[in-house]
Amino acid sequence: MADRLNEEASNKLLKLVEEPGNKTVFLFIIDKNNSLADLGILIGERGGRGRGYGCEAWYALMDYLFTKETIRKITAGALEHNKKMIDIFEKCQMILEASRPNHYEINGSPVTVVYYSTYRGNWN
């Protein structure tokens, strides 16, 4: 993982897990000028969902960014109804920072986006 983080490009795509029934992919964007990272995750196969892989991988990536890199703040967002992703944010010490009411439309209905964050100083 360290080799990928030290590349010159700010946008990173990191595949963490690939095994039968479970493909977990992370996308993260690093803003080196402001020491920020914005994280995203995709668990591509239903067989890999609900087993704790996402939370474990999310925590590991956050820990790496805070302890091995110069990141001071990590951010992430999700649709308001994505309770499993919000649970991951909260289990990983992220707090609700903002929301955009009715930001997207899904099947003709407005959906709110929520944004979570945490700082290196809050990480333990």
- pLDDT for the residue numbered 29: 83
- pLDDT for the residue numbered 3: 41
Question: Which two structure tokens, joined as six digits, stand for 68?
Answer: 């091995």
Mapped onto helix, strand or coil, the DSSP state of residue 117 is: strand
Ranges in the chain, pLDDT < 50: 1-9
- pLDDT for the residue numbered 2: 40
- pLDDT for the residue numbered 88: 93
Query: For residues 39 and 76, what is the distance between their CA atoms, to the nearest angstrom?
Result: 5
Q: E strands of 21-108, at which residues?
A: 22-31, 36-43, 73-79, 95-106
* Average of per-residue pLDDT values in the chain: 81
- pLDDT for the residue numbered 24: 63
Q: What is the CB-side half-sphere exposure of residue 81 using CA atoms within 13 A?
A: 9
